[in-house]
Structure 1
Amino acid sequence: MRVLRVGQLDSELLDQELVSLLQQPIQSALSQVSASLHRRFQPEITLFIQLVLYRFSVWSYGASYGAKLQGLRYVHPKSTAFGIPKKVLAMHGALTIVLPYIHSRIRAYGLSRAWPDAPSSDRRRKTWEWLVSLESSYGALGLISFVTFLWNGHFRSIADRMLNMRLVPSQRLVTRDVSYEFMNRQMVWHAFTEFLLFFLPLINRRKLQRRFNRLTSTLAAPFSSKSTSSSKAKSRGKYHSLPDNLCAICAENASLSLNNIASAANAANIFTHTTSQEGAGEDSDGVPAYPIYTPYITSCGHIYCYHCIADRMLRTADESGENDEGWECLRCAEIVTSADRYLVEFNEEVEIDDQFDFDFSPTRGSDEASFFGRGRRGSEYDFSDLDLESESNLSESLSVGYTSLSGLSSSED
């Protein structure tokens, strides 16, 4: 029966792939012990794997694993009911496994001892030339044998031709249909991996995690014994007791910083106050611990630094997306939808031509604040007739809106 040449060549390729596949875990394990260990003993590792595979395939069943996958097996003219004679199999294993190992070791030994560079009269140089001539002769014989194999389809290698071992179908009735199952499986897996590489970057992991945590907390709420207290605490943020003239985001950043322990301790002391008292959140010099620079008022009515509120809202928008909720205020725990510049407008009737030094500190013991400025000529001016935007709550507007400007002055050009 005629055997397909492609099946015989594929069986040899499958055997080589199996050997290389088994070498990888051994080499990776040896590389953990020593970086050069697997390179030194790579021929021995290959020899050991090939001998083990030959023992449990050709020696036992008369066919290699690649030949079994192609539905082929070895036959010999002297084959019996028990298979090919063991003497023939031993010679076949020596020619296909042991002899290539000896050749690779002799060649590596000669190169390490500089046999090609020895004098022409030296024994080592003659041995090297003899080895090179054998390699050339073997290559020429291999080419002739392969061309003959392509011509008649018999004897895939020189060893098979020398021992008269042929590959024949393992069954009498053989279907010559080519199976594309393996190719189809590879194509499906390749398309699936490409789909995952395209789809996974589109998934927002943090958004899914927050929704999952929210769902679990909602499901666990009826079974919690502190559901009433948690609902009451929901209306107040983590920094609800922080004085209004301090930035809650700056205080949170300072409390979370591991490089500034003193600031964290100061922030912890500030948060324990239940009511905001006069002078709260200031150090010994009267300077606020976390002043508000460039104040911006949120949609819930609380004031933060421009840099702080812009950074939090942009970061939340990038992480959450358009469909998710926004950033929660640290004082009232409400969702912040917008933030505008916090301004105190002066009356248009008052014209100020000179540059002044302002003192915005409120007068102690009174409900109103006195404003004084010093002009270029050194004379004092009274700004008690200025009309602020929130005239009824003057003290609170000044303490919240312009605390960060306390002590600042505009110098003369």
Structure 2
Amino acid sequence: MTSVHPHDPNRSWQDAWNSAQDTIARIRVDVLSSSSPTPRVARVGKVDAELLDAELVQLLKEPLTKAFNLVDSTFKAKFDPELTLFIHLVLYKLSVWDHGASYGAKLQGLKYATPRRTACILTASGLPRSTLALHSFLTIFVPYFHNRVRAHALSNAWPDAPSSDRRRRAWELLARLESLHGLIALVNFIVFLGNGRYRTVADRIFGLRLISARRHFQREVSYEFMNRQMVWHAFTEFLLFLLPLINTRALRRQISSLTSRTTLASLLPAPLRALAGASPSSDAQSGKRTRGKYYTLRADQCAICADNASTNLNFSDPANALTSLSAVSPYTTAGTHTSDPEDPDYVPQFPIHSAYITSCGHTYCYYCLTERMMRAADERSGVGPKGMLWECLRCTEPVAAADRLEAEAEGPEYESGVDDDSDMDDAEDRSSFTSSLDNFTDTSGSVGSIGYSEYSGMNEDSD
């Protein structure tokens, strides 16, 4: 005969289990009767999904618009709403209709869900086909028709029509509908911020809610794109700070000067250059330029004026905007004069005013020459030491200085002043001398220290 000890642990555990059966049964009933909890989706994920969808539409529309503009430049103005409609339809079919979530919602780990309905034809995504058809019509076609009607009304001046006109009443009705829609959207968004269920008015009408696509979903934020954007932004800011400090004209001038002086013979060592028969003097002479851009221009015309005219566009007359480009041809061998110089009524196309002669022996206008020399010195875009000297447009020599041109008339009648034989001869000689200096007006002051007193086109023979 066995005896049970009063403090047996097995006996106490069995009594505890038997006494807890009623409590466990009540808990099971409560769990089975209660609904299963749904995971809470952050509101920011739903809003980000809508923004991502809008950005995707813009990314797809931009290259298509550029491609169609190559065929027809007025395509964007004519068919921009239709192109947006087409992109929206394609994206809706490939995302919401087939998979139950837009591309922005997929990136956020969300999908659409509707209340359970019976006897409904479902799509491949498991959503009712009739619900998605009405939802697409309300979210895609209604905005398209609104944009078209509004554009048509503005192009036909409906807002400016009389108050009794049907067009004016239709415009006012359209404005009221827009205000009403904006008010409803605002109220819906405030409610959405409160409960986080329906993001848009269309979603609320058809009961489409964005829920988590996975049972256990954790919102993960990747900062890789943000880091790349910050690095690129810092790099562009550095370039914006650095580029204005670089004198691009001087750098470009130095590079072009270096490449023009560099020849194949100069790259060879001295022994090989001697064997090839290329001497330093011949290399220097071959590399030296003796003719400038306007070396064929007549001596009584300013090459700087011609250069300015060749680069200035006539924007006042669109039909003749490019005529000034063809007015001067600096590379022609015939010069840039349109009339016969022997004609007594001949007027130079680019006359020299306040003539100044450079150290290389060419004549320019005082203001033109001063402006070019000061610009070359300030920007260091010229030639010579540190690019401080301006390069002559006729001979490509560096201009070190310039001085006022002094014209001298030589001849038997002008050896010791003006010896007049008669009043008539004096008048004729004076008028002849004055006409020869008409385009070389003298001014006080100079832009250099070197003066020259002879000019090839200023000597005039008198009878």
SS of aligned partner of 1:154: coil
- 1:158 maps to which residue? 201
Q: Do the aligned residues in 2 keep the contact of 1:50 with 1:97 (CA within 8 Å)?
A: yes
1:5 Cα deviation after fit:
0.9
Say yes or no: does 1:220 pair with 2:264.
yes
1:10-409 paired onto structure 2 within 5 Å? 10-26=48-64, 29=68, 33=72, 35=74, 38-39=76-77, 41-78=79-116, 83-87=125-129, 88-101=131-144, 142-176=185-219, 178-216=221-259, 217-218=261-262, 220-222=264-266, 227-228=278-279, 229-233=282-286, 237-238=290-291, 265=334, 298=359, 303-305=361-363, 307=366, 310=370, 313-317=373-377, 318=379, 320=381, 323-324=386-387, 326-327=389-390, 335-339=398-402, 360-361=410-411, 371-373=415-417, 401-402=453-454
* 5+ long unaligned stretches in structure 1: 268-281, 344-357, 364-369, 379-399
Q: Distance in 2 between the 1:4 and 1:45 partners?
A: 33
Q: Do the aligned residues in 2 keep the contact of 1:296 with 1:340 (CA within 8 Å)?
A: yes
Q: Identity of counterpart residues, as a percentage?
A: 42
1:10 Cα deviation after fit:
1.9
Q: Distance in 2 between the 1:171 and 1:215 partners?
A: 67
1:195 Cα deviation after fit:
3.9
Q: Distance in 1 between the 2:376 and 2:124 partners?
A: 76
CA shift in 2, pair 1:332/1:227, >3 Å = farther
* 5+ long unaligned stretches in structure 2: 1-38, 269-275, 311-326, 423-451
SS of aligned partner of 1:57: helix
SS of aligned partner of 2:40: coil
Q: Do the aligned residues in 2 keep the contact of 1:248 with 1:331 (CA within 8 Å)?
A: no
Which amino acid letter does the alignment assign opposite residue 72 of structure 2?
Answer: V
TM-score by length of 1: 0.57
Say yes or no: does 1:2 pair with 2:40.
yes
CA shift in 2, pair 1:227/1:214, >3 Å = farther
SS of aligned partner of 1:73: strand
TM-score by length of 2: 0.52
Q: Do the aligned residues in 2 keep the contact of 1:43 with 1:101 (CA within 8 Å)?
A: yes
- 1:353 maps to which residue? none
Q: Distance in 2 between the 1:233 and 1:131 partners?
A: 79
Q: Do the aligned residues in 1 keep the contact of 2:97 with 2:124 (CA within 8 Å)?
A: no
Q: Do the aligned residues in 2 keep the contact of 1:51 with 1:97 (CA within 8 Å)?
A: yes
CA shift in 2, pair 1:359/1:97, >3 Å = closer
RMSD after superposition: 5.9
CA shift in 2, pair 1:9/1:213, >3 Å = same
Total equivalences in the alignment: 338
Q: Distance in 2 between the 1:226 and 1:65 partners?
A: 73
Range 141-150 or range 328-337, more displaced: 328-337
Which amino acid letter does the alignment assign opposite residue 320 of structure 1?
Answer: S
Q: Do the aligned residues in 2 keep the contact of 1:74 with 1:167 (CA within 8 Å)?
A: yes
1:53 Cα deviation after fit:
0.7
Q: Do the aligned residues in 1 keep the contact of 2:96 with 2:125 (CA within 8 Å)?
A: no
Q: Distance in 2 between the 1:266 and 1:131 partners?
A: 68
SS of aligned partner of 1:221: helix
